[in-house]
Amino acid sequence: MSEEYKIIVKDVYKTFNVYLDKANTIKEKLLFLFSRNKKEKREVLKGINLKIKKGEVVALIGTNGSGKSTLLKLMTKIIYPNKGEIITNGKLTSLLELGAGFHPDFSGRENIYFNASIFGLTKKEIDKRIDQIIEFSELGQYIDNPVRTYSSGMYMRLAFSVAINVDADILLIDEILSVGDEHFQNKCYNKMRDLKDQGKTMVFVTHSMQAVKQLCDRAVWLCDGKIKMDGSTEDVVDEYIKETK
């Protein structure tokens, strides 16, 4: 893989099985023991081809159900395509689901060690960064409380603070930044600008066209599992807004 590119998506298809008569009660489960659940295949991505260069900040935009989050999950290798290939070049960190990777009974501090180790940091490396992570999160007095007592905004603060401090080459972010107060959201976007200036590669899913225009070099518009438009942020966002008004 060329050093020029950090992510290459080659002819990717992704299909999910959706069960239409899933049993919800014990009685229903017993009744379905001798019959197959009805299911249908839903093709979420239909031949996606995409190359993201080193240092690019790319937004995936589109209406709900267009395949944005699925594509981001495929990039992290949480799930795999039915057909095609995704190649990443460099250390990758992601913020896809609120609190994913956190143990509810561990404290915020314990979860920092747990989560950062998943991203490949050693205990010594985490020791050096933990004060910085806690300071950025602004959790202060709550850092030693179990994370099950945290609000969604506190989860986001902790998750984002860990993700940006693992020194990754590629950062993937889903709609998580829509959670929390305006002050911390602005702080996150400012940090992402700093990472952009450092030459980090970022891909994020958002419905905030203002954030896309402020932060991204490029936007990729997904519609019904296909790329409808890929180009400069201004051009893609303007077309998207025209069609979705």
The DSSP bridge partners found for residue 9 are 50, 86
Q: For 161-201, what is each residue's pLDDT tens digit?
A: 998 888 899 999 987 777 778 888 888 889 999 999 999 99
Q: For 86-116, what is each residue's pLDDT tens digit?
A: 999 999 988 887 666 789 999 999 999 998 9
* Residue 5 binned pLDDT confidence (cut-offs 50, 70, 90): very high
The CATH number assigned to the domain holding 90 equals 3.40.50.300
Print burial letters for 74-90: b (CB count within 10 Å at least 16), e (below 16): bbbeeeebeebebebbe
* Residue 32 binned pLDDT confidence (cut-offs 50, 70, 90): low
Q: At how many degrees (to 10) do helices 108-118 and 152-163 cross?
A: 40
- Would you say the C-alpha torsion 136, 142, 146, 151 has a positive or negative sign? negative
pLDDT (0 to 100) of residue 30: 58
Per the structure, the complete domain to which residue 110 belongs is given by 5-244
CA 24 to chain centre: 30
Which is nearest to 96 in space by CA: 133, 121, 118, 68?
Answer: 68
pTM: 0.85
pLDDT (0 to 100) of residue 120: 85
Report the number of distinct structural domains present in the chain.
1
